[in-house]
Amino acid sequence: MTEEELDPILIQVTVPLPVPMIYKAMVEPAQIGAWLAEEARVAPALGGEFYLRFGSPTPFESAGRILKLTTDVDLGFSWFGPPEFAAIMNAPTPRTNVYLRLQESPEGVDVTLEHAGWGSGEPWEEARSWHFHFWDEHLQRFKDYLIKTAYG
């Protein structure tokens, strides 16, 4: 009997700004650099590059590809985990994917992040837990960045 895969990570923030402004912060490298990674390279097309380089506290690179892209609606990309999880997450190809979806709501725009493709077992549980905290922090930074950019 094999163990079931772990549930996807689901995190949501609501941003009281227009969809186009939020979407640009998801796909423009300079803006990604302000809330997510130290360096970003993005080729906004299916199969295009979605490269991120992170510094401290855990330096690593995620040299992903865009898997889904609908202007002002969503963005999906393959994900390479940090070195401590590379053996289970990155080889021979990335095992997990990140998907960001925008949907208007009464309070603004709901930004939902889903990180899926987790395996089973203790190493996967550790990787998923690390990534949950990573994405929770960065999605809050995303919201804060957008509000500060819009309102100063």
pLDDT digits (tens, 9 = 90+) for 133-150: 999 999 999 999 999 999
Q: Is 24 exposed, middle or buried (0-12, 13-18, 19+ CB in 10 A)?
A: middle
Residue 2 belongs to a domain:
no
Q: Which helix (H) or strand (E) holds 123?
A: helix 122-151
Distance CA 28, CA 84 (A): 28
Give me the sign of the Cα torsion angle 23, 28, 33, 34: negative
CATH code: domain of residue 84: 3.30.530.20
pLDDT by residue (tens digit) across 77-95?
A: 999 999 999 999 998 889 9
The number of domains in the chain is 1
List the alpha helices (DSSP H) in 40-121.
86-89
3-state secondary structure of 86: helix
Residue 67 belongs to a domain:
yes
Residue 4 belongs to a domain:
no
- Judge whether 58 and 96 are in contact, CB under 8 Å: no
Domain ranges, residue 86: 9-151
3-state secondary structure of 83: helix
Residue 3 belongs to a domain:
no
Distance CA 110, CA 16 (A): 9
Percent of the chain residues topping a pLDDT of 90: 92
pLDDT by residue (tens digit) across 2-28?
A: 568 999 999 999 999 999 999 999 999
Distance CA 25, CA 35 (A): 9
Residue 102 belongs to a domain:
yes
Average pLDDT over residues 33-40: 96
